[in-house]
């Protein structure tokens, strides 16, 4: 008997924090303290700070 839901539980993380800029889900758990950014906003912020000299 095959269990088709083996990978389904791994794909849905426990509650994740929202990005403080765009409200998209982040890669961080909701319990993370501080500013949480989604991967896109995190990348954009890194670009801004890298060029701010």
- Rounded to 5 degrees, φ, ψ at 41 are -65, -35
The residues spanned by each domain of the chain are: 15-50
- Whole-angstrom Cα distance, residue 27 to residue 30? 9
Q: CB 30: neighbour CB atoms within 10 A?
A: 13
Say if residues 17 and 28 touch (Cβ distance below 8 Å): yes
Tokens of 27: 């890669």
pLDDT, tens digit, 9 for 90 and up, residues 14-51:
799 999 999 999 999 999 999 999 999 999 999 998 87
Tokens read off for 6: 């083996």
pTM of the model: 0.64
Phi, psi dihedrals of residue 27, rounded to the nearest 5°: -90, 5
């Amino acid at each position: 008997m095959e269990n088709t839901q083996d990978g389904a539980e791994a794909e849905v993380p426990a509650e994740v924090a929202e990005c403080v800029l765009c409200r998209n889900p982040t890669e961080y758990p909701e319990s993370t303290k501080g500013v949480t950014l989604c991967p896109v906003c995190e990348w954009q912020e890194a670009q801004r700070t890298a060029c701010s000299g």
